[in-house]
Structure 1
Amino acid sequence: MTSLILPTSDGGTRKYQLAEAPRWARPTAPLTSRRAYAAAHVIPEVTADNTPGAPARPDWDATLAYRHELWSYGLGVADAMDTAQRGMGLDWDATQQLIKRTGVEAASVVASGAAATAGKSVRDLVSCGAGTDQLDLATIPSGAAGIEAVLNAYREQVAVVTEAGPKVILMASRALAKVAGGPDDYLQVYSTLLQEVDRPVILHWLGTMFDPALAGYWGSEDVSTATETFLSLIRAHPDKVDGVKVSLLDAGHEVALRAALPQGVRLYTGDDFNYPELIDGDGTHHSDALLGIFAAIYPAASAALQSYDAGDPVKARAVLDSTRELGKHIFSAPTFYYKTGIAFLSWLNGKQPGFQMVGGLHSGRSVVHLAKTFELADQAGLITNPALAAFRMSDFLRINGVGV
């Protein structure tokens, strides 16, 4: 058995022995009982600048290979989202390339007729975020001119996603949060966009734990008041809303919102703490998934969904529950650095050549935090090559002064 020395939070170290590598089965038919998108991260070139403010230079081969890995497990990909470091290192120029390249790769998967994705469309395989991050928040005008600038920025990005083929996700906008004077401004912007799109989109509500700049979204700091505004928008345009992706880390709120949605509008959970029970459901409703944690636990997530398809919800729930502690740890405060844990596991499992992130975000978590990430991933059966992972983990610790 492979073992290594891990640091502890009290400044000491201890010996840790890895479990045997699990055998997660890829699906032999498309997953049907739940619709699930894994929000994928971006892998940079290891020799790029990769410092805060530097233009992003993705390693396109590794980045797109990761998406193929997710598709091979029957999951959809949510791309160009906050998990891909929108607003935290991935600039709009690189984002446009990501959307276009992922659309091409998804089309190739559709054409291949692979068993896990047979019969799926590009829109089933990939949804992409359309936002307003090409705007400079320091210079955006106030009042009606600011609202118009936000609308035009959204239109530009919606056009890029639509032309590339994926489903559009209308992302929460820092610019709109800055210029909106109240609920009516949110309704004006989103209603206009929903009237203009030709196919249903996903609406994205991201809490302040993920992005503090989104405080007061939907026109109120009070969540219940904001929710009524959100619901009024959806009820006015149910034919233009495929679903809503809600990331407030509040299971009770999600259950109530899920029950209040118009028929046919999906609730894509973005709750990376409570996803097992939300996906499992309450006997009347269940949540679908659009989750950053699925990019880290995708073999287990796929196995759980395969069990739901096979009529074994008890097994499915047990698999999801087995990943919960890892999810809680990766998404622990400050939550917006969860991306670092996802990239770290990708590197440990050999999916990228170096532990690098655009914008220097690989420094967003401590050595002890990442050692715990390694341990919890192993306990959840998500270290797929223990020898490689132990070798890389040992090197990481040694470089960072642990045990020397």
Structure 2
Amino acid sequence: MTTPTATRLLPVLEPSGVTVRLPRFDAAGRATGTEVRELHAPGPWTTPSGPITSRVAFAAAHVVPQVGAENVPGAPALVDWDATLAYRHRIWEHGLGVADAMDTAQRGMGLDWAATQELVRRSSAEAASVGARIACGAGTDQLDPASVEPGEAGLAAVTDAYREQVRVVQDAGAQVIVMASRALAKVARSPEDYASVYDAVLAEADRPVVLHWLGTMFDPALAGYWGSDDVESATSTFLDLVKAHQDKVDGVKVSLLDAQHEIGLRRALAALEGSPVRLYTGDDFNYPELIAGDEQGHSDALLGIFAAIYPAASTALQAFDAGTAGDPDGAARGHAILASTEKLGRHIFAPPTYYYKTGVAFLSWLNGFQPGFQLVGGLQSGRSLAHLVELARLADGCGMLLDPALAARRLDALLVTNGVTA
């Protein structure tokens, strides 16, 4: 429930004068009525005058396909580079870093290794041209997990695949994010197997990396990662790895959607002696409280939801900066802004969570940042019409429809295309 104090600190959303007719659906997907809704003008979002300093924040960005390309399941990804890179520049203009070639960019769900390499090189060059922050995922998805078997040969193949991708990211000038590997989850038989692979991969790093722990809600093929289905046992192995390579680890990104686990891990990292290790929240459900933090610290951010809400996220982070500089309401205002987007985040990342990319691309399309509502691999079909309509309602409710008139036209076109008429 929103408190009176939080309500006072929230940006005021003004009416836009634009109306749209939105259907309502029952549980079976049948239209049960129509809502005539006046859309809000976008929130009073601001861009920072300088670097954001109180938190380190990355938005994990998606890719936009060529509208006429054969972007169907199994086909090579053909990317609209102009739209894809322009989206990254919007994120950078709002003071956030870009986490590229991650699961938001459909690694393992449509973006093949050839397209991934080009994405890493192009995005890194664009980041360098404006002095912006970029980190890119290095994984093993050039390997078919079915082609590797448990044992030394399989572990060696996974290690070599990681090394190849680390070199691509480093050669492009980006920070490395060591992604979780489906192939490693298949071939590893113990925590020691994970340690041996990560030991070899981290030895290749020329600057501190981000380690990524992705939960099964995002990728079911990662069950048992770190050698156990028990979260506490896996956490112990993960912490041992960080301790062994602390000088090579800038931070860890944890995407388990478990706020209490993340807070415990954050405190364990803070207690380590030696170079500090950041906790980059990957919790797209609970990010407001985790980024706001408590008396013992806060999480930084590496989030897919930030690719959808980057104007609000930036404004919130600017408020946290103001709080650090002495504004008594700054931290509370930043928390309130993030909390106002939480329902949208939970909807976009609702089960099956791995289809969240569809919602990120849908909002990008509504806001005019890509010509068509498409994703590589045909993944725009990953969510129902009812889900998308509710997403539009929630985005409007937190001021994230940045051009209400365009959003209304595109919603009308979507509804007609899908057989819903006034």
Length-normalised TM-score, structure 2: 0.92
Give the corresponding residue for 1:283: 295
Select 2:371's aligned residue among 323, 344, 353: 353
Give the corresponding residue for 2:44: 23
Select 1:165's aligned residue among 173, 192, 208: 173
Q: Does 1:326 align with 2:374?
A: no
Q: Does 1:95 align with 2:116?
A: yes
Counterpart Cα distance in 2 of 1:131 and 1:160: 11
Checking the alignment, whether the CA contact within 8 Å between 2:99 and 2:302 is kept in structure 1 is yes
Aligned-pair distance for 1:9?
2.4
Aligned-pair distance for 1:94?
0.1
Counterpart Cα distance in 1 of 2:134 and 2:254: 18
Select 2:248's aligned residue among 240, 244, 251: 240
Give the corresponding residue for 1:313: 331
Structure 1 window deviating more from structure 2 (352-361 vs 195-204): it is 195-204
Select 2:232's aligned residue among 218, 224, 230: 224
SS at match of 2:310: helix
Q: Does 1:364 align with 2:393?
A: no
SS at match of 1:15: strand
Select 1:64's aligned residue among 82, 85, 89: 85
Counterpart Cα distance in 1 of 2:386 and 2:283: 24
Counterpart Cα distance in 1 of 2:332 and 2:75: 47
Aligned-pair distance for 1:167?
0.2
Aligned length: 391
Counterpart Cα distance in 1 of 2:228 and 2:343: 32
Give the corresponding residue for 1:122: none
Give the corresponding residue for 2:25: 9
Give the corresponding residue for 1:382: 400
Select 1:186's aligned residue among 194, 198, 201: 194
Q: Does 1:401 align with 2:409?
A: no
Counterpart Cα distance in 1 of 2:344 and 2:406: 20
SS at match of 2:159: helix
Counterpart Cα distance in 2 of 1:337 and 1:216: 21
Counterpart Cα distance in 1 of 2:349 and 2:44: 26
Counterpart Cα distance in 2 of 1:152 and 1:313: 45
Counterpart residue identity of residue 44, structure 2: R
Checking the alignment, whether the CA contact within 8 Å between 2:43 and 2:398 is kept in structure 1 is no
Counterpart Cα distance in 2 of 1:192 and 1:18: 53
Counterpart Cα distance in 2 of 1:3 and 1:347: 18
Counterpart Cα distance in 1 of 2:303 and 2:262: 14
Give the corresponding residue for 2:103: 82
Identity %, equivalent residues: 65
RMSD: 0.9
Counterpart Cα distance in 1 of 2:19 and 2:386: 17
Length-normalised TM-score, structure 1: 0.96
Gaps of 5+ in 1: 111-116, 118-124
Counterpart Cα distance in 1 of 2:20 and 2:58: 34
Counterpart residue identity of residue 288, structure 1: D
